[in-house]
Amino acid sequence: MEEEQRRALRRGRVRLVAELRVAPLWAPLEDRGLFTRPMVEELQSAGSRGEQARQLVIDLETRGKRAFPVFLSILRDTGQGDLADMLSEACERLPAPPQPVDLRPVELALTGEKHNKNANLPEPSSIPIRAESERPQTPPVPARGSAVGERSCDLVYEVRADPCGYCLILNNVTFSRDSHLSNRDGSDVDCEKLEKRFRALRFYVLTRRDLKAREMVSELQELARRDHGALDCCVVVILSHGCQTSHNQFPGGVYGTDGKPISVEKIVNYFNGSNSPSLRGKPKLFFIQACGGVSLPLLAEQRDRGCVVDFDAPHDEAPSGPLELDATPFWSPLGNVDEPDAVASLPTPSDILVSYSTFPGFVSWREASRGSWYVQKLDNVLEQHARAEDLLTMLLRVANAVSAEGTYKQMPGCFNFLRKKFFFPCK
């Protein structure tokens, strides 16, 4: 679909959602090859008429160059010519895009999706769709000579799609007895905060709970294989116990509920340019709330006490409940589940950022009633500063805030291979 046609659909989305009669459209949409029968059934299951209309308009952008004129024809054939005229006029009024766009058809796979029994998959309708004039924009470029400094457009990722991308949250709370790992009380608090935060940041949030290692791999691969052509970025959040693994570029690993590890390097590798071509050149962000992994004899030593602090200071208030850590003993080797893949070479990891809740080799603290320190601070910083600051600046704020928590200390960090500054889409 051409860019001006996409923009016309987005500008007319509010009216289409309010007025579009979807029932007469299903048969001609299938008969004229815009959607398959499973795709139509998926759209019909979106909820109310308005929610079905909203999802239909979103998916139309992914159906190739024929989609726009065929949709206008179907509207007129079903007695909705006023809506067709509105879209046609909007398309004619829009100026041509300043740069050539890729006109290859982009298809979003709506069929064959596997849903885990514990999955909490939000419908696309849970993300409010705004008119073009209301859509979130990248923060404005500071004036020349301002205190903020100049920001060249070629050094900022363009994030204008709405929703801007998928956010997959893997939340492991309850671990099997055979895993010898404790349950992660408080992780659901983290998960709920991040679901709300990334929906507010215009992401389509997918949540999976209590997955074994192979199930985690399956979900990650499924997301990587989706067509992200109409989207601008991708986020993966993992809440679990962590460990150390062999690595070339990205240290650490996370556990499935069966106690089997997956290396962070392997997770990142699923989203590289070879495995996920529609994400090439687009930012891929990973947030890992897990310990860095410690060896059993050194466990006590890796609980960083930092320097002497005044416990009466406001930022060192006593926690509301007992502290837990997402640490597990590190046995070498960890088994053959991930070791071969963990040390495999990666292509150049461009456009990737991995944010860790703690420095490798140290524990990550979590409170049952309030969630983890890292997620608490990440959520607060995103709420307060996402409208004005780029991601790396905000992660510095997170690191500074987490490092000031409690008697024991924790130091988040990140591995940054982004080529440009990343700003979350905000009004």
Q: How does DSSP assign 22-49, residue by residue?
A: -GGGHHHHHHTTSS-HHHHHHHHTTSSH
Residue 315: the pLDDT is 43
- Per the annotation, the verdict on 91 as an active-site residue is no
Domain limits, CATH 1.10.533.10, in the chain:
3-93
pLDDT attached to residue 40: 86
Residue 8: what pLDDT?
87
* Angle, CA of 105, 107 and 108, to the nearest 5°: 155
The question of whether 247 is a catalytic residue gets the answer no
What pLDDT is stored for residue 122 in this prediction? 44
Look at residue 379 in the predicted model and tell me its pLDDT. 95
pLDDT at 90: 83
Strands (E), 48-198: 165-171
Helix axes of 81-93 and 67-77: crossing angle, nearest 10 degrees = 150
Helix (H, G, I), strand (E, B) or coil at 53: helix
Catalytic one among 241, 315, 385, 414? 241
Averages of pLDDT over each 10 residues, the chain, 427 residues: 83 87 91 87 83 86 86 91 89 56 40 42 43 46 39 78 95 93 91 95 96 96 93 96 84 93 94 89 94 42 40 41 51 34 45 87 73 91 95 95 75 91 87
User: In the structure, how many helices (H) and strands (E) does the chain have?
Assistant: 13, 12
**What is the per-residue pLDDT for 168?**
98
- pLDDT for the residue 234: 97
Instruction: Note whether 155 and 421 are within 8 A (CB).
Output: yes
Active-site choice (291, 315, 414, 426): 291
Q: For residue range 399-409, what is the model confidence (pLDDT) as tens digits?
A: 999 887 766 67
What distance in Å separates the CA atoms of residue 192 and residue 186, rounded to the nearest whole number? 10
pLDDT at residue 417 in the model:
93
Give me 134's structure tokens. 């209301």
CATH 3.40.50.1460 residue ranges in the chain?
133-417
The structure's pTM equals 0.58
Range 133-417 has CATH code 3.40.50.1460: yes
In the CATH scheme, what architecture does the domain 3-93 have? Orthogonal Bundle (1.10)
Q: Which of 386, 368, 377, 384 is nearest to 410 (CA)?
A: 377
